[in-house]
Amino acid sequence: MENMHAHDRTDGVADAGQTADSSAEKRHSPESRSSVDPLLRVPGVGVRAAAIAALIANVVIIATGGLVRLTGSGLGCDTWPKCTPDAFTTTPEQGIHGLIEFGNRTLSGVMLIIALWGLIAVYRGARRRRDLITLAWVQASGIIVQAVVGGMVVLFHLTWNLVGFHYLLSIVLVAFMAVFAVRAHAPGGPRARAVRLPTLILTHVMTLVLAMTVVVGVFATGSGPHSGDPSEVVRTGFDAEFVYHVHAWSGYVLFALTLVVVVLSLREYVGFRKWVVALVCVQIVQIVVGVTQARLHLPGSLVLVHMVLAAVLTAAAVATVLALKRPTAELDGDAAGRPAGAIA
């Protein structure tokens, strides 16, 4: 009788083991994975690559636009949408300035191709993700708006306010594309605050100061040299030295706030902390470049680097702000795996 009971217990354990193995196989089977809500999946490599390409392209177009201005090629093509009244392309008479300006214009076509890639990738691989679909359309429409504003800049002979608006529009597009890139690497669904309230508040204050610093930088550019053309171009009329100092002061305030956020991030989760560290590293490089260009009387090469770094800084700040929240599924998983009394 005891042997029979032992045999039954052995069979029961074996059946339980087989059931557990079967459950594990089901969890890891393709059928189980395919049953997960598509909204909660991280998009495929095609969507992620398209989003990264969109971000890089919008930073590159800032660099090429800066090259146009800093080489005095802003009126290399003296009309728009044509390059000359008689031709859509540059002519030998326009020289190197015409080539630089026309080359920058042709990049709009490349940007549209990348935008089309993003739309196709999102509709094919993440059609449940409304956020990604919206951002893909922002990219496509933003490129068209950028081209029109760029044309107005030429038609109104590089007035500082239009040139500045053109740059700010580019920065805004970089910010949106940074959202696109970050969201494309994360699951969809609801999100919840993942950091402490002081960290949340100070991060938003820091981001606001960054926006103010970029805007003051536009006024500084419009008050100094490098108007975009050797001829007389309308400038702000402000005292350039004063505007430069205001821009520098706002940059130092931004850096101080970021250092405080770095300290606060030591008590936050690693995903937020890594973006804060990246942000402060870019700021250090930006400050070094800014101080150096001021000491060297604004050489064009350093001004170009400063412009591009502002775009990179914007992207890093956007990623930092997005890291203030996490998908609720991730937060629930972390809570389930933490010991009692542990702090997120």
Structure tokens at 232: 């007389």
**Structure tokens given for 199:** 């960290």
CA atoms within 13 A on the CB side of 54: 36
What are the Cα distances from residue 308, in Å, to 60, 157, 205? Answer: 8, 24, 23
By CB neighbour count within 10 A (0-12 exposed, 13-18 middle, 19+ buried), where does 97 fall? buried
Taking every pair of C-alpha atoms in the chain, what is the biggest distance, in angstroms?
108
Count the Cβ atoms, other than its own, within 10 Å of residue 161. Answer: 14
Distance CA 116, CA 298 (A): 38
Interatomic CA distance for residues 230 and 74, integer angstroms: 9
Q: List beta partners, residue 87.
A: 84
Contact 53, 116 (CB under 8 A): no
- 175 Cα distance to chain centroid: 4
Alpha helices in 185-269 (DSSP H): 197-223, 240-265
Cβ count near 221 (within 10 Å): 26
Look up tokens 């691989």; give the residue.
125
The whole model's pTM is what? 0.84
pLDDT by 10s per residue, the chain, length 344? 445 444 444 444 444 444 444 444 444 444 444 455 667 788 899 999 999 999 999 999 999 999 998 888 888 888 999 998 888 888 888 889 899 999 999 999 999 999 999 999 999 999 989 999 999 999 999 999 999 999 999 999 888 889 999 999 999 999 999 999 999 999 988 899 999 999 999 999 999 999 999 999 999 988 877 766 666 566 777 888 899 999 999 999 999 999 999 999 999 999 999 999 999 999 999 999 999 999 998 898 999 999 999 999 999 999 999 999 998 867 665 555 444 333 33
